[in-house]
Chains A and B, each alone.
Chain A
């Protein structure tokens, strides 16, 4: 089974119930664009802000055409100041708007770190629930595109440590389309991490929007992990850019006689521990894969929680495959730093050897 087949199966299920089937094969960047367009079209309060997102359509062209369609007041080319973008988005949210801001690259979110962790994440709490600040922060993240420094980072753990934020990341075009709309509908602030190396990967997307739950409970499906490949010998948990690599590794393992299950977490905060624990309860083995550094990374949290829940079913310690405790390296050697197919298979072998 591959990610593609899962996605197609789901999409066709949706199409059957839809009055106007409109499935299209799109790259993830276009799918996000379509999701943003739909949000802008259905809710006047939705607006986009960011550096170069208007006339240029963003450096990755994710917002291409949206300013022409919705005007400069709703798709705003901001001054070059990330704290300013976040801080004014908070003020706009207080005034009743639903700002979706783009941080141009992962490595440039830090000037806004204070506004995100100190202000955005805490305002609902500090106001005893009187204020809501439904700001969505889109961040192209992760490596594997041969970029220069500060353009390949995975800062999710730094945000996951902060209560008040939701953090999600799609692995497929279909998820990107629905999850961006659900993130915008969320009453809480959401960090929407876009795996930039997958921007050009294509998948089937149901553009009718019928498959997107934007109701008050939409957040539930936003944070539900999905088993994208079933197996009995070992579970791999991955998200965002590493899901496709994990699926490829499972495929290779199959050739070696190992039946590996792959879970796409989709959400880093909260983490769907239920789905993982159910899976590990059956397989007894877990390998967590992410590009973020392993030390204090999401894998450490997942290992702790799954161990608490599945201590007696575990046949091996939970293993992690992720970035090292180094700054993100130069692009010519990034392949060695990233959780590659071989490194995942190495962890699978080590787990199975226990």
Chain B
């Protein structure tokens, strides 16, 4: 944790113990936790006027769409968590609390952009148009990936922390070679790599920043600092705010209130526009909070305090956007009720879909090891087929 994130008041005095790290100067925040917009003058003074102007152009339709996506993502997340509890999924990594960071940034993407996610970007997947239930294949163990990475420009989840930031950078180098940057037309595109605070300690992430900086690749490094890497607080990974790392690589860094969807969208939009125009990479530190456990296998009570979770629950990203929609009269009770109903429907659909997923035939374990025929795989797969066939007609559980 940076000094700004360290508890300052003695334990027991709830609110003050966990000061809001996004109140620190330099962090882009456009909407306060109570849903009110920050005064334009103050934002101008802090140098964030450009983001405020962009946010002012965000239409009520877009605000409502972001809200809807956040609520649907949370409903899906809750459903997947209970499916895991019921034994229908092997594991589930919740994204609860990070919806503004994910949906705000994903709303800045264009269809031709590509996303390289970690394993918690359910909200991004949803905005990209990936049917959320397709995320379940991986966690139910019926497939490793489960979706077509090219169909929605949303690549496979990467469980090896940080590896995919290099793939994102390489993909960006490909975009450069295709001539798809800096044309000033719809042709221009860019890449976003999502990763966590823990991942910033990995060699691959640092190498990705080196490669992206020196090749000026159109990549946005979107770090969700959710304060925890399983049980390790951010202070285990860094002694400076993560955003400060960027300048050492020669990459501009922006720290944004990750629970403010409006600010996240504005900041990511600017970074993506810069990348598409040929301006090179940007590092975004979205300060947010993992409200749930690391995964369904984790027990956060062993390493963090309830008071911290409570402090962050008062900064809930969905409530903040709802408050803004209400304050600016962009949404009425009917709208909120309709989104609630849609969520329930989505959850029910996901439940049914999940239970319908059956294991693939065992012989498929030999599929797609190589893109072209391979004698050893062919030999082992043929042996396996005849071995399986040897049970045909045998009494259950016995050999022929």
A-to-B contact residues, CB < 8 Å? 47, 73, 78-79, 81, 83-84, 86-97, 99, 111, 114-115, 118-119, 122-132, 134, 163-164, 166, 186-188, 216, 219, 223, 269-273
Contact = CB atoms under 8 A, between A and B. Distances in A.
Given A81-B211, A95-B174, A270-B375, A130 B148 contact: yes
B163 A127 contact: no
- Sorting the interface of chain B by its residue count into under 10, 10 to 19, 20 to 34 or 35 or more gives 35 or more
A124 B369 contact: yes
Contact of B210 (A84, A90, A187): A84
A187 B165 CA distance: 23
B194 interface: no
Contacts of B372: 186-188, 216, 219
Interface of B: 143-145, 148-150, 155-156, 160, 163, 165-175, 177-178, 203-204, 207-208, 210-211, 214, 367-377
A84 B211 contact: yes
Given A91-B172, A119-B160, A125 B368 contact: yes
Given A88-B208, A119-B167, A127-B368, 6 more contacts: A87-B207, A87-B208, A97-B174, A118-B163, A127-B156, A129-B368
Main secondary structure of the interface of B (DSSP, over half): helix
A124 B149 CA distance: 11
Contacts of B171: 91-92, 94-95
A92 B214 CA distance: 16
B275 to A, nearest CB: 15
B294 to A, nearest CB: 21
25 contacts: A73-B177, A83-B166, A87-B170, A87-B208, A88-B211, A90-B167, A91-B166, A91-B171, A92-B171, A92-B177, A94-B167, A94-B174, A95-B175, A95-B177, A97-B174, A111-B203, A124-B369, A127-B148, A128-B143, A128-B145, A130-B150, A164-B369, A164-B370, A187-B371, A270-B375
B145 A87 contact: no
B211 A79 contact: yes
Contacts of A86: 166
Contacts of A273: 375
Given A91-B173, A92-B173, A79 B207 contact: yes
A73 to B, nearest CB: 6
Contacts of A122: 144
A311 to B, nearest CB: 17
A125 B144 contact: yes
Contacts of B174: 91-92, 94-97
A126 to B, nearest CB: 4
A271 B163 CA distance: 30
A117 B265 CA distance: 36
B74 to A, nearest CB: 28
